[in-house]
Structure 1
Amino acid sequence: MVIKKIAATLFIAAITISGAVYAADAKPAAPDFAKQIGDLATSAGTLKIAIDTLWTVVAGMLVFWMNAGFALVESGFCRSKNTVNILAKNFVVFALSTLSFWVIGWGLMFGKGNDYVGLEGLFLLGGADNSPATGEAYKGVYDSMNWTGVPLNAKFFFQLVFAGTAATIVSGAVAERIKFHSFVVFSLVLVAILYPITGHWVWGGGWLAAANFRDFAGSTVVHSVGGWAALAGVIVLGPRIGKYSPDGKVKPILGHNMTSAALGTLILWLGWFGFNPGSFMGVGEGSGLAHVLLATNIAAAMGALAATATSWILLKKPDLGMILNGTLAGLVAITAPCAFVTLGASALIGAIGGALVVMSVLFFDKIKIDDPVGATSVHLVCGIFGTLATGFFYDYEIAKNVAGLSGDVVDPAKWSIGSQIVVQIKGILAVGGFTFVASLVLWYVLKLAGGIRVSRDEEIMGLDVGEHGNEAYADFQEVNR
């Protein structure tokens, strides 16, 4: 009995000990909250980079799609016999922009250097870079772009489509009489050298950036640069045959397809929703991006309405061409100030731009500056106006809450409306003076080297056949030539 009792006691003890051991093993360890918080922060940071990168790339795609808009607008405003030439220029110019901006343009614009040009990381995106690190954590040669937390390739792609836009602006202004190869060479130099140099002054940490010059998305950096280069080309080329009579009267040369021009304008309007909001290169909380998008849309709408009214008054008809250019004028004008002004100011800026473009087109015609699509009026004149409007309508609270995402806010202790306007004028004159003179020299060099204008016979026949050996509407033209 004693042995049985001892055995029973030992059995119960063994079961008790085993249960205790099992319970101890089954009890979860105290959670490592610090590790979990760290993992959560890492995941949140990775997600933010992914979202910002996605938006930057999608916005860049929208801007790229603007090439289709430019092609349709330019071809629609010109005669059918030059359609193939215009379409070819629009295709080739972006291909050239991709190559030249990748090879050297990006480095000149955003590489470390002096106040006037980038000197490091010049070739093939080859500089040191640890994007998407930002601020002081960024260690690389493109520190003027260290405010955006996206990979280097995303930064490059978004800036590339802007560079291509500047060259495309020139295409429309010199349409219907320029040699294809001359335009190709000019575009290559513009995107590889001229555009990046002035871009460095403003967006690459150069002297205008240090002076607090403000151009959020490119009224000056993109549109005015393209406009100045176009104006120089138009002056050197001269007007199209038959545009002005011997007594100085303007003889309208009508575009062949206003449906194409209208569709192209709508595509450009859509593309601008990538152009301006995309310039944040990130999403942030979303409110700033939404403000810029709405300001952009309001300015476009007011530009269209103001151009309608102005053309109705001055031309006695609501001219569709003016309405389309008025829409684009409002978009160009709001591009610089969209992150710095109220929505009410955006409406006023767009309206002034829409009225201004009508008067500008008529003025350029009066002084015999022949621009078939109105590119100089839209991009140069309204680009200048939009840059000035940034100073006149700058709102510190809007800038702090909207543009603060990109760090593009003027120190209020160093700011006044007067001082900002002076800086804006200084930037307009500097960028305009450099671009216009350099472009004028380049156009004249090309003229001396091999000529930039097609022959009289080729111009009359049309550049489609003379330059490319085919026609856009072969059957139609055979009957109606």
Structure 2
Amino acid sequence: MPRAGLRVCAVACTGLMLSAQPGAAEIPAETAYVLNSLSFLYHGMLVFFMATGFSMLEGGLVRTKSVSTILLKNVILIAVAMIGFYLVGYNLMFYNVDGGYWGTPRAWSPDQTDALSQGAAPASIWLFQTLFAVTAVSIISGTLAERMRLLPFFVFVAFMSCVLYPVQGAWGWGGGWLAEMGFLDFAGGTHVHSAAGWAALTGAIVLGPRRSRFADSGEVRPMAASSLPLVTLGTMILWLGWLGFNGGSQGSMDSVADVIAIANIYVNTLMATCGGIVATAALLQLLRRKIDLTMVLNGALAGLVSITAGPDTSGIVGALLIGAVGGCLMLWTTHLLLRLRIDDVIGAIPVHLACGIWGTLVVSLHHPEGDIRVQLIGVAAVAVFCVTASVVVWIGLRRFMRLRLSQGEEAIGIDRVETGALAYPEFATRSVLPGD
């Protein structure tokens, strides 16, 4: 181990031993600063790795003629979202909110004065929060895959990272009016997942389904995923990254109590995932006599989203039950969307919207300060804002830009139209058939 790494470990161990001794003095401010900064950086790296998970998941679920474009979207959106959150979003979400609706829209710059009083390196905090904004935007890309052009999508990404995500996030996490009411959302069941889910749902409705997805008779035409191994890999990466997503939201790691809390959050996050997997597999076996791999993987994600609003207080049994209900809710919402002829390519709406709402509401049952009325107000307020703002922007993009591919372009595949690069060129000579 490098000498610097040994020094950090020694500082961490010393701080833990000091805080573990009854009646001992608090650990030095510098030690707390290092530990908290390290927590944000380490957990932030896990959250960033989730971008890889989204890329693999979405790349595996789309058809072979769309893989290159969906991967490109997931790379560029990181850059657009981070720049937007740097220029406008971060301070809009956290600076001078003071119980109101939003902060001051200006570029972020680290405040280096009296650094120790801030508890952690300002850049580490900014990095962690920015990667949450990236995650929120990543949720949308897969829903609208295979028929939406790249340029209008990136315009929406810029809008979401600059305005939509930070404004509603300021209400709760930035010390806004929802925080004043006591709204609870530990790691983003509403502020990240359902907010992005509402944006994805409105986009899917305005954009319309893929042209070959639904028959005139109402029959749902199956569209084969390009790579189930990639889908599985992406889900497993997201599962790992979620530990950073939820664990890092503890916000500090400078005491024994914080470390215990982070460990409990990890366990509850894992067990909720297990609940989602088992419930989804059991229900599929009961209803269809076959277990669909993609649905089970979405069941895992449903469990993860369901626990995100309250992984700190659920307990192990509670986490299992919350995840299990999330898996069942995901299956029901997937069926509902198909009946309504809403085309969600990767199932992001059932996973992130439905389970984000469920997880936020159920916090009122296991958190000692939970109030179902406040939770309902928070969920409804974010829903109204995100739906209204998203509809305006989606319709505006459709009015002033060409939002989706033409019928001919969609038939030959978005990869040929938007990137010219084929992820699977060995299939390029096949005839183009409906559903390919």
TM-score by length of 1: 0.82
Letter in structure 2 aligned against 1:177? R
Which moves more between the two structures, 307-316 or 115-124? 115-124
Deviation per residue, 1:247-302 (Å, 9 max, x gap): 11111212111100000000000000100011012223111111111000000011
Alignment match, 1:445: 396
Does the aligned pair in 2 maintain the 1:107–1:125 contact within 8 Å?
Answer: no
Q: Does residue 403 of structure 2 align to residue 430 of structure 1?
A: no
Partner Cα separation in structure 1 for residue 405 and residue 430 of structure 2: 25
Letter in structure 2 aligned against 1:163? A
DSSP-derived class of the 1:133 partner: helix
1:117 Cα shift?
A: 3.5
Alignment match, 2:142: 172
Does the aligned pair in 2 maintain the 1:217–1:276 contact within 8 Å?
Answer: yes
Partner Cα separation in structure 2 for residue 42 and residue 301 of structure 1: 38
Letter in structure 2 aligned against 1:71? S
Alignment match, 2:7: none
* Aligned equivalent of 2:354, options 362, 376, 381: 381
Partner Cα separation in structure 2 for residue 242 and residue 120 of structure 1: 46
* Aligned equivalent of 1:350, options 306, 320, 323: 323
Does the aligned pair in 1 maintain the 2:147–2:410 contact within 8 Å?
Answer: yes
Alignment match, 1:25: none
Deviation per residue, 1:72-93 (Å, 9 max, x gap): 1111111010001100110011
DSSP-derived class of the 1:123 partner: coil
Partner Cα separation in structure 1 for residue 152 and residue 350 of structure 2: 23
Does the aligned pair in 2 maintain the 1:101–1:160 contact within 8 Å?
Answer: yes
Partner Cα separation in structure 1 for residue 26 and residue 382 of structure 2: 43
User: Map of 1:213-224 to 2, 5 A cutoff?
Assistant: 213-224=183-194
1:48 Cα shift?
A: 2.1
Q: Does residue 33 of structure 2 align to residue 82 of structure 1?
A: no
Alignment match, 2:83: 99
Q: Against the structure 1 CA distance between its residues 151 and 79, is the aligned structure 2 distance closer, same or farther, given a 3 Å change threshold?
A: same
User: Map of 1:120-159 to 2, 5 A cutoff?
Assistant: 120=104, 122-125=106-109, 130-134=114-118, 149-159=119-129
Letter in structure 1 aligned against 2:280? A
1:342 Cα shift?
A: 1.8
Higher relative contact order by CA 8 Å / sep ≥ 6: 1 or 2? 2
Partner Cα separation in structure 2 for residue 121 and residue 256 of structure 1: 42
Does the aligned pair in 1 maintain the 2:110–2:122 contact within 8 Å?
Answer: no
User: Map of 1:390-469 to 2, 5 A cutoff?
Assistant: 390-394=363-367, 396=368, 410=369, 420-469=371-420
Alignment match, 1:292: 265
Alignment match, 2:21: none
Q: Against the structure 1 CA distance between its residues 347 and 354, is the aligned structure 2 distance closer, same or farther, given a 3 Å change threshold?
A: same
Aligned alpha-carbon RMSD (Å):
1.9
Partner Cα separation in structure 2 for residue 453 and residue 120 of structure 1: 34
DSSP-derived class of the 1:440 partner: helix
Alignment match, 1:9: none
* Aligned equivalent of 1:201, options 159, 171, 178: 171
User: Map of 1:105-116 to 2, 5 A cutoff?
Assistant: 105-116=89-100
User: Map of 1:27-66 to 2, 5 A cutoff?
Assistant: 44-66=28-50
Partner Cα separation in structure 2 for residue 182 and residue 56 of structure 1: 33
* Aligned equivalent of 2:210, options 240, 245, 268: 240
DSSP-derived class of the 2:117 partner: coil
**How many percent identity over aligned positions?**
38
Does the aligned pair in 2 maintain the 1:121–1:127 contact within 8 Å?
Answer: no
Letter in structure 2 aligned against 1:361? T
Does the aligned pair in 1 maintain the 2:97–2:174 contact within 8 Å?
Answer: no
Letter in structure 1 aligned against 2:378? G
Q: Against the structure 1 CA distance between its residues 424 and 375, is the aligned structure 2 distance closer, same or farther, given a 3 Å change threshold?
A: same
1:340 Cα shift?
A: 2.2
Letter in structure 1 aligned against 2:192? V
Partner Cα separation in structure 2 for residue 223 and residue 170 of structure 1: 10
Q: Against the structure 1 CA distance between its residues 201 and 208, is the aligned structure 2 distance closer, same or farther, given a 3 Å change threshold?
A: same
Alignment match, 2:240: 270
Q: Does residue 169 of structure 2 align to residue 160 of structure 1?
A: no
Partner Cα separation in structure 2 for residue 343 and residue 60 of structure 1: 25
Alignment match, 2:276: 303
Does the aligned pair in 2 maintain the 1:111–1:204 contact within 8 Å?
Answer: yes
DSSP-derived class of the 1:276 partner: helix
Letter in structure 1 aligned against 2:69? N
Which moves more between the two structures, 257-266 or 107-116? 107-116
- May I ask how many residue pairs the two structures share in their alignment? 407
Letter in structure 1 aligned against 2:72? A
Partner Cα separation in structure 2 for residue 129 and residue 179 of structure 1: 45
* Aligned equivalent of 2:153, options 162, 183, 188: 183
Does the aligned pair in 1 maintain the 2:93–2:103 contact within 8 Å?
Answer: no
1:126 Cα shift?
A: 6.3
Letter in structure 2 aligned against 1:260? L
Partner Cα separation in structure 2 for residue 265 and residue 123 of structure 1: 34
Letter in structure 2 aligned against 1:110? F
DSSP-derived class of the 2:428 partner: helix
Partner Cα separation in structure 1 for residue 81 and residue 290 of structure 2: 39
1:343 Cα shift?
A: 1.6
Partner Cα separation in structure 2 for residue 184 and residue 242 of structure 1: 25
Does the aligned pair in 1 maintain the 2:204–2:343 contact within 8 Å?
Answer: yes
Does the aligned pair in 2 maintain the 1:121–1:128 contact within 8 Å?
Answer: no
Gaps of 5+ in 1: 1-36, 135-148, 397-409, 411-416
DSSP-derived class of the 1:112 partner: coil
1:42 Cα shift?
A: 9.9
User: Map of 1:223-234 to 2, 5 A cutoff?
Assistant: 223-234=193-204
DSSP-derived class of the 1:47 partner: helix
Alignment match, 2:8: none
Deviation per residue, 1:206-240 (Å, 9 max, x gap): 01001101000000000011100000100001110
Q: Does residue 312 of structure 2 align to residue 339 of structure 1?
A: yes
Partner Cα separation in structure 2 for residue 60 and residue 356 of structure 1: 29
